[in-house]
Amino acid sequence: MGNNVLVIAEQRDGVLKKVTFEMLGVAGTLAAGTGGSAEAVLLGAGVGGLANALAQHGASKVYVADDPTLAIYSSEGYANTLAALIGKAQPAIVLAGATAMGKDLAPRLAAKLGVGVASDCIAFEMEGGRLLATRPIFAGKALARVKLTGDPQVATVRPNVQPAPAPDASKTATVEPTPAVAGTIRAKVVDIVGAGEGEIDVAEANIIVSGGRGVGGPDGFAPVRSLAKTLKAAVGASRAAVDAGWIEHAHQVGQTGKTVTPNLYIACGISGAIQHLAGMKTSKVIVAVNKDPEAPIFKVANYGIVGDLFEVVPLLEKEFKALLSD
Ligand SMILES: Cc1cc2nc3c(=O)[nH]c(=O)nc-3n(C[C@H](O)[C@H](O)[C@H](O)COP(=O)(O)OP(=O)(O)OC[C@H]3O[C@@H](n4cnc5c(N)ncnc54)[C@H](O)[C@@H]3O)c2cc1C
């Protein structure tokens, strides 16, 4: 087993996801502990051009598996290709994003390699030459520090928690083509339905404005959407709002929705059930608007406004508009 840290770069439609850069930051720190370097692997079709950005963010080597069979993500095609590469490259640690893709890929890859996986980790350090990762458990009620016994050590990294290193245009990387090993692909993606035009995915957003049962109906999301637009934010929702059919599931934050860690999370008419908190508790700043002063959301909020969201949210938007136009 070598001592490098391999990042599975994630791209969609030729654009690298932010978590890829965040993982390169983690990889750089861990590589200092393993005595190796940060490397990355890119999979897709026509993706070679992205190697430069990976180099600028700290990858000293970029493996590129560029093949039409990898154009659309498939669990088996990607896992087979990565397992073959890892067998050859022998990294000490493999990092994937705790994204829809990484959550599907990392366990399958780990199983192929006969090792465990530490999923959705929020902190990383080296102890005694081994990775020590911290991951929330029991819907965020506790944190577990886990060490993996097998090699390589596979972990997924929660997006938006780790800082991404600033790009350094003077940095370059060795680019090494690596073959695609499609194998038998028994399940394939037939269609990808994107978010509505102009909508920001909550999992990627820096700012989220969320609505819950308190918005009262589909039309009640209007002030939430309007504030989100002003702040260039994504629109989130509680499960109650999604189950009521007021907004699509793609917007749901929580245990059975998406896990988000934006810089700012504004919860409007959301009570703060444990299953909702599980998805947003690690947000950097939380603002809650709720007419019930006893609502549990106020326990995790940095700023709380007790009031009717239909009065408060438009006022907030007015203030933000004024501030942003200064
Ligand atoms: C296995 C499991 C998984 C789950 N997964 C999720 C999940 O992923 N995400 C999730 O969100 N939930 C999830 N839930 C559901 C969760 O338990 C709660 O039922 C849900 O989060 C409640 O949503 P809410 O806060 O919008 O509604 P409520 O709990 O009904 O709260 C509505 C809030 O709005 C306030 N309000 C009402 N009107 C106004 C107004 N005009 N102005 C201001 N405030 C107002 C009320 O005071 C209240 O606090 C899950 C539950 C289970 C059992």
* CB distance 237 to 228 below 8 Å: no
The model's pLDDT over 241-292, given as tens digits with 9 standing for 90+, comes to: 999 999 999 999 999 999 898 999 999 999 999 999 999 998 999 999 999 9
DSSP letter (8 states) at residue 71:
S
Residue whose Cα lies nearest atom 36 of ligand 1: it is: 214
Write out pLDDT tens, residues 135-156. Answer: 999 877 899 999 999 999 999 9
Instruction: For 79-125, give the secondary structure using H, E and C.
Output: HHHHHHHHHHHCCCEEEEECCHHHHHHHHHHHHHHCCCEEEEECEEE
Give the atom of ligand 1 at the shortest distance from the alpha carbon of 254: 8
What's the token pair of residue 309? 């969201």
Provide DSSP, 12-31: ETTEE-HHHHHHHHHHHHHH
Q: What is the pLDDT of residues 294-325, one digit of tens each?
A: 999 999 999 999 999 999 999 999 999 999 98
Structure tokens at 298: 């106020």
Q: Which residues line ligand 1 (CB under 6 A)?
A: 212-214, 238-241, 252-257, 269-271, 273, 275-276, 279, 289-292, 295, 308-310
Tokens representing 104 are 């599907």
Ligand 1 midpoint to CA 206 (Å): 22
Q: Nearest Cα to 30, choosing from 95, 97, 111, 78?
A: 95
List Cα–Cα distances, 34 to 169, 178, 180, 237, 304, in angstroms: 25, 24, 28, 41, 44
Q: What is the pLDDT of residue 13?
A: 86
Ligand 1, from 248, 253, 266, 270: best to mutate by most atoms within 8 Å of Cβ? 270
Q: How far apart are CA 67 and CA 42, in angstroms?
A: 11
Nearest CA owner, ligand 1 atom 18: 273
Report percent pLDDT > 90 for the chain: 86
3-state secondary structure of 324: helix
- Best of 275, 297, 300 for a ligand 1 pocket test (most atoms within 8 Å of beta carbon): 275
Residue nearest to atom 19 of ligand 1 (CA): 240
Is the Cβ–Cβ distance between 24 and 112 less than 8 Å?
A: no
- pTM here is 0.82
Q: Residue 293 corresponds to which tokens in the numbers above?
A: 């002063």
State the Cα–Cα distance between residues 73 and 82, nearest whole angstrom.
13
pLDDT confidence of residue 83: 98
